[in-house]
Structure 1
Amino acid sequence: MPTFPLTLAVITRNEAGSIARCLDSVPFAAEKLVVDSGSEDDTVAIAQAHGARVVHQDWLGFGAQRNFATTQCAHDWILVLDADEYLSPALAAELQQRLPALMAGDAPAAYLRRRTIYMGRPMRWYRPSVGEKLARLYHRGRARWSDARVHESLRFDGAAPTLRAPFDHANNPTLPHKQLKVLRYAELKCRDWLDKGKPVRMWQAPFVYLLAFVKDYLFRLAFLDGWRGFLIAQTAASYALYKRMRYYEMVSHPESVASAADLLHQHDIDR
């Protein structure tokens, strides 16, 4: 298969179960780069066996880690996937058709659509899981990741095309995986709020939970996916509420920041 002057960039830590599928889904990338932050499983060996160049970088936060990865790429055009994401055959074929024109033009980036695999099968109706648009393909001279510790985004000026076929996200293989992720993401988001001096507004907490649940369950059509949709909406609402509670604790009891960091590190969920 012909290759393109494109780098597939993946950031990892303990992703031995998924990294091979991710890397193998992009056979047309001239370079595959894995930036690993200290895996203790076989992630590095598996990545190398599947054609990736592996670079170690201690964890900087999602935005900063992706910006570091950008500096390590051999090519200006970069495709970013998480280790639990992979291109569908349809998207791989579409990219091979459209990459020459995209690379020859002046677009800063392109949007891809993400389809979520949840509890072993694709979501059918929940809007963020059946066609979420994410800027994941970009020219590093025209775009840059935000420096957020979590929920980072690609920043660029100008119009960006959207590809039609989706890529897949094997999202949180079990509910325990999801709950651990909620703890980790909430901690990172609250640290960002703390750095920015965000006001504490605990009076909003009950409304935040209710509005988040209604938004996902009704307006984003999660209810059409049955009990899986209910679980997604409930988890999203609980995350929105927990962030406010945890941030209140950080501000009112500053010693809890270091104490929680130690606990999360002990259980290997601090990255």
Structure 2
Amino acid sequence: MKKLIVFTCFLGLLFCLSSCSSYYYSMLSANSGISGMNEYNDFVQENDSVCIIYNFYGEDAPVNVTVYNKLDEPMYIDWQRSSLVLGDEAISYYQDVMPVHGKVESYSSTWQDGTVSGYSSGSFFGEVQLPRGVEFIPPKSRVESSALCLGREFLDQIPDRSFTKRSFVTSDGNRTNLKVMEFTERNSPLHIRSYLTIYTGKEEHKSVYESSFYLSEWVDAGKMSPSGIRIGQSEEGNFSYYCNRRGQTTGWIIGYAALGVSALTSIILIVTHKPSMDMPSHF
């Protein structure tokens, strides 16, 4: 299941190159575990120790997770014991590669006239020796995961019922009417749960951060691309889109190309990826 979800994400990126015959938008809502939403409409789960941000913007709803360590001590996230649950299907967040980098500085002084007589600096690159699937989060820093996406399997569960029309603000400030289907938590065709296992200090003191979401709106946008409306243009975190494309043959060609590109992408990520140590833009 995880391989299918990851492959769908890569396939979605390549499908962006082909023309869409129609668009559908989805909006998610949270029903537990979430503290609120930030100015980007990302879902935020926060306490005194950690801030977790979920963003689903993009085609086929990529699951972008940011974990920010608010403490002055290291934090660890156990991806192998963290899962995304779609309906009743659990998919592990686990990622196998965790490169790290850093910088060291030193100096020496002979205290002759109070001047420093020696200075050296350098950088190091390597891998932290941690249990399999565990990622190190330095103090006041973040890690990000975007290995999974919600995919399209739930689309068959969307009921065949009447839409209602609603006005949306377009990217140029005008308005257009689109067809909308609304869902409650009870009748939604898609329910999502996320479990993140995080700890500081000893491994046995683990905390599980649970949050849940559901599909609350489904929009038949016709020919209106996401960049054509304000909510899509601003890339809000609770918004994602799906594209129907012309040409079955084109789909097969792109599908085979995706296999090669996904393998190449994995190699590039292993060689070049360095985790960001910058403060999150949301803070």
Instruction: Please give the range of the TM-score, normalised by the shorter of the 2 chains.
Output: under 0.3
Larger radius of gyration: 2
| Length-normalised TM-score, structure 2 | 0.23
More helix by share: 1
Which structure carries more relative contact order (alpha carbon 8 Å, separation 6+)?
A: 2
